Structure 1
Amino acid sequence: MAGICAFALVLTGCAAREPEVRTVRVEVPVQVPCRAPVVSVPAWATGSLKKTDSLELKVRALLAERRQRMGYERVLVAAVAACQ
């Protein structure tokens, strides 16, 4: 009987005590979707060339397209860098 009374006292002591409330901050990395703008493909300078066009016209178009591609690549690199 003494064991039951001691057990009842222990349970009463646990019931009377208020639970301890504490705030715990947990830092967890969360994956965020990339919101980079869509890069449109330009109309390339050599896209409208014909076989009958002069060599000078073809060379100028190729040089212009080279500059276009360099600019396009810079925009693509900037879009990729925005997501990292």
Structure 2
Amino acid sequence: MKLLLLGFVVLLAGCAGREPEVRTVRVEVPVQVPCRTQEVAVPPWATAGLKKADSLELKVRALLAERRQRTGYERELVAAVDACR
């Protein structure tokens, strides 16, 4: 028992005699940054003002115009999202 205790004291003395090694470690961590882009305004859609009694030609023209509006709106949304990446 005394031998075991003596061995334990010697081990502790060996650890106490060393000076701790001081190191500086640089750790790069991504930090979230809030996205600051202007809000994309929803355009007034071309088909919003259509009435049931409007002619077929008028309805088709409004649908084609709205298709172009939606394409432009989607491009603006994609640009806003890409600006935040």
| TM-score normalised over the length of structure 2 | 0.67
Match in the other structure for 1:72: 73
Where 2:76 maps in the other structure, the secondary structure is helix
State the alpha-carbon separation in 2 of the partners of residues 74 and 63 from structure 1. Answer: 17
The answer as to 2:18 corresponding to 1:49 is no
**Paired letter, 2:77:** L
The answer as to 2:32 corresponding to 1:31 is yes
Match in the other structure for 1:59: 60
State the alpha-carbon separation in 2 of the partners of residues 28 and 58 from structure 1. Answer: 55
**Paired letter, 1:60:** R
Where 2:72 maps in the other structure, the secondary structure is helix
- Displacement of 1:37: 1.1
Where 1:40 maps in the other structure, the secondary structure is coil
Q: Unmatched 5+ residue regions in structure 2?
A: 1-23
State the alpha-carbon separation in 1 of the partners of residues 30 and 74 from structure 2. Answer: 31
RMSD in angstroms over aligned alpha carbons? 1.6
**Paired letter, 2:67:** R
